[in-house]
Amino acid sequence: MKECRHLAIIMDGNGRWAKAQGKPRTAGHLVGADNVRTIAIAADELGIEYLTLYAFSTENWKRSSDEVGYIMKLPAVFFKKYMQEFLDRGFRMNILGELDRLPASTHKVLDEAMEESRNNTGLNLNICMNYGSQREITLAANAYAKDVLEGKAPLGIDEAGFEKYLMTKDFPPVDLLVRTSGELRISNYLLWQIAYAELEFVPESWPEFTPDVLKRCLAEFSERDRRFGGVKNV
C-alpha cells in the first residue's frame, strides 16, 4: 500500500446535511465536530501521521453572526468532550490560522489544547481555524522580508527556506487531499502544500464521512501513480 503520511481534508457539507434533515445549519457543525474525533481515531489506526482539517476559513466570516458565533464556541465543547481521549492516544494538537483574530475565549481554548499535547509524539491532529492559504503565504512573505531587513535571513532563499515561514513548517507535504460534499474546488486551502498531492472529491457530506469512506479514499490513493514530474517506473 502506497504510504499516505499526510492527509488533508476539506470538511464540507455540514450545513446542507443539516438542512436535509430539517435541522439548522449549526446542528450540522455539531455533528461535524464529533466526526472529527471519529475520523482522527480512524486515521491514526490506519497509519496516518498528519491529519490536517479545514474547520474555518478566512472567508467564513461572511456567514451570519449566529453561525460564526456557534462555530467559535465549538472548540471548547469539542476539547471538553475529547481532549482526555486524545491525550491518552498520544495525539498532538496543532492549530493553524491567524489565531489572534479569533474571539479571545476561542483562542485561549485552542492554545490550551496545543500546550497540553505539546510533548506527544502520536498523530498530529492539525485543525485549521481562521486559516486561508493566501493569507498564510502573505504572512510568510512579510515575515521573511522583515528577517531580511533585520539581517536575520539572506536575500534569495529557496523553496525549503520559504517553507520555514509557513504555518505547516513542521509537517511534510500533503500526500492526499480529500474534499467532502461534491464541491470541486480548493477554497483557499493549503495551496503551497498540495503542489503534488493527490486529489479526491467525494459526494458524502462531512457528517456522512465514515471510517469506511476514509478507507475507500486511501484504497483509491494507493492505486494512483505519483510521478512528481518524473517518468513512470516500468
Residues 6+ apart with CB under 8 A from 60: 68, 71
| 175 touches Mg ion by CB under 5 A | no
- Select from 60, 162, 173, 204 the one that contacts ligand IPE (CB under 6 A): 60
Torsion of CA 136, 137, 141, 143, to 10 degrees: 20
Whose Cβ is closer to ligand IPE: residue 187's or residue 210's?
187
Q: What is the total count of residues that contact ligand IPE (CB under 6 A)? A: 17
Query: Smallest distance from the beta carbon of 150 to ligand IPE, in angstroms?
Result: 35
Query: Is 170 assigned a catalytic role?
Result: no
Identified catalytic residue from 60, 120, 147, 188:
60
Active-site residue flag, 111:
no
Task: Decide whether 16 or 164 has the Cβ nearer to ligand IPE.
Answer: 16
Residue 37 interacts with which of Mg ion, ligand IPE, none, CB < 5 to 8 Å by class:
none
Residue 12 binds Mg ion, judged by CB under 5 A: yes
Residue 71 binds ligand IPE (CB under 6 A): yes
Find the helix packing angle between 211-223 and 25-45, rounded to 10°: 60
CB atoms within 10 A of CB 191: 13
DSSP states along 198-228: EEEE-SS-GGG--HHHHHHHHHHHHH----T
* Residue 166, phi-psi category: left (phi > 0), alpha (psi -120 to 50), beta (remainder): beta
Interface with ligand IPE includes 96 (CB under 6 A)?
no
- CB 205 → Mg ion: shortest distance, Å? 9
Q: Among residues 13, 75, 97, 207, which is the contact residue for ligand IPE, using CB under 6 A? A: 13
The answer to whether residue 97 forms part of the interface with ligand IPE (CB under 6 A) is no
- Residue pair 178/160 in contact (Cβ under 8 Å)? The answer is no
Backbone angles phi, psi at 56, to 5 degrees: -155, 125
Q: What's the DSSP call for residue 92?
A: E
Residue 16's binding partner, choosing from ligand IPE, Mg ion, none, with beta-carbon cut-off 5 to 8 A by kind? ligand IPE
12 sits near ligand IPE (criterion: CB under 6 A)? yes
* CB-CB contact of 179 with 213 (8 Å): no
Which range touches Mg ion (CB under 5 A), out of 8-16, 20-28, 34-42, 101-109?
Answer: 8-16
Instruction: Mention every residue, 6+ apart, whose C-beta is less than 8 A from residue 132.
Output: 57, 58, 59, 97, 188
Q: Which positions are annotated as active-site residues?
A: 12, 60
Binding site for ligand IPE (CB under 6 A): 10-16, 54-57, 60, 71, 181, 183, 185, 187
Binding site for Mg ion (CB under 5 A): 12
